[in-house]
Structure 1
């Protein structure tokens, strides 16, 4: 009887244990703002670095207390379960070290401290392996403040990426499809159906990424992927944007301003574009850039402003509307959930953001299923300019971790049939 109860407990506990092992980014508290990765090749919320390249993480703390923060780095498999490597195998030096470089804001209404972490440094000498990583930031009380994913690749495989119109005629006007060719001369890809895994990312958004497609054909040393539907993404629409590098004057997307305790910027009301003809409007594919006029160092001289978003739309029953983009790592959280104003018949939200140029979009989330519909407000169009990144992972037979052996990138500017 006891044995049966023990087996039943295992059946109940093990699945939840396995699920909990999959790494999920932790959303920062409201006083942590403007988390930004910088490198020689990328800037934004999803750095993909070549092995040996410098990683730079920056963020602001709006507590005005010059708090101490500590960082921890962990290595993960392709599916974001912990890898079998011990820390000394993928990290030379030490982590769980205090972030020593920070500066206080200068001449700003909102007081904050700007933190900068560069790896390698005197404590963390190098990251030794390719693959998936997570960096976690803790405070003085060992409380996890936030975590962010990043990837390190070895330049072994050549990854050719091309963007095509959907081969499914039902959605040919709304979707984009990704074709890939993977080749390598320095590594024998043994049994690629089992050892090769791929990840396709649209506009740095891991939430909508397509993972683990298998090669359809092998031609010499080339692996060819030309799927009809499995590698297709909704085209979406160009992002809305605003710029407030001058907080004292209306600028791109800003209708008017008010000075209270800090500056308030009121954006023009957006309207649904779902059933409108596609109009090209250059964007930076969901990214953001901190900018401020008459500033020598925007890291500490750019101010924070209250941004007032509004969307003219009928209330959507049983669904919620959120604002997101790279500025909050495409997170769905209470801080970016919009409220419906029955008098103005608008969705409204106020967010505290650092000065700069921001891309954003409105998405709809089903209250029962949590399914995200990115095209419910903006629509989906095959002409939309999107950025696509393809990551290629390889685990040879008997290997203990997934190597990231190749990285390719393409824009739908050059989309073809």
Structure 2
């Protein structure tokens, strides 16, 4: 789903249709929505809360599972969290009463309440009170768990990050449909946490955008071994060769003709010369047979090669499923509603095989179409308001970058280029473009 094609709107519509009571859908399904980050989950929650009440049935009941400190600071979103809903329920009031009795009993045992003169009960009376404390603790845990269970059971849509889906609150809950948003930015391992809780899976994401950030030491390890291999080769080349020494004869027993060799036995191990495979794709290409045959044993070997675990966490579940089952399992949203046609032409050609089209509402929109934009003359209007893309070539201007930090790992900045941007923004504001309509993005 390319950027600006309405991925979030599509997911909201899927959720709305699945959870709305209609003659064709008399029994709405229960949905769990997960995401790679709290922001992606809260974005969907905010859209769901804005949905109007359906013609049939009540308003959609949604619950956000997660720590309130990590939830978007929006009143509607905060009110939908599990903690807030649980605190407002009737069962929560009963649990608070039990907790109050428990605290009072503990205070008496410690001699804190007034009138006890600081003396705690002793002997049989103390043992009796400890039995009461144990009973109150058990009752409090039962009521507190009942509050959480009651809130989640009444929710049609439960939202959480992939990590939070493995929490104790959801350990006994099952869902009809699981939606994972931004699946191409989530590691495959975390996607499996909520998958086992649902009967159907929907992945949403764009494999052409940034993948999950992985700090992998695999390549460094291979490079290190490669360096050792080079040293070994160099040292062996300096060794004086022995002359007239016959090589020992090797006898290799050939396997029977009807025996199928396990491909795992021929898998090249990481050698000291750094000659290991560089990627999963090369491994699969080298090991998997060109065409699987109908033989059962060969089919088993073929599936074993196809389903082999990745060598790193860079392969997402989205990419893995597409590779296993082909592009027929995915659907491309090919109409974008965000960019001018000239801007969208580049990603469409480079990343989406020219399948991306622009909606008429944005295909030719320019700054001059804004009601507040007003240029002084035609040249100014054409230069500032009538051009969808503007490039500033600073080559040869001696606009040198400055690095703040240690070596090349610090933050880079270019004060001269920042001055160019500042001047251009001032010119846009001068022709009527509002500051709230301008965004400045830097690497």
TM-score, normalising length from structure 1? 0.19
- Structure number with higher helix proportion: 2
- Structure number with higher strand proportion: 1
Greater length-normalized contact order (CA 8 Å, ≥ 6 residues apart): 1
TM-score, normalising length from structure 2? 0.18
Bigger Rg, which one: 2
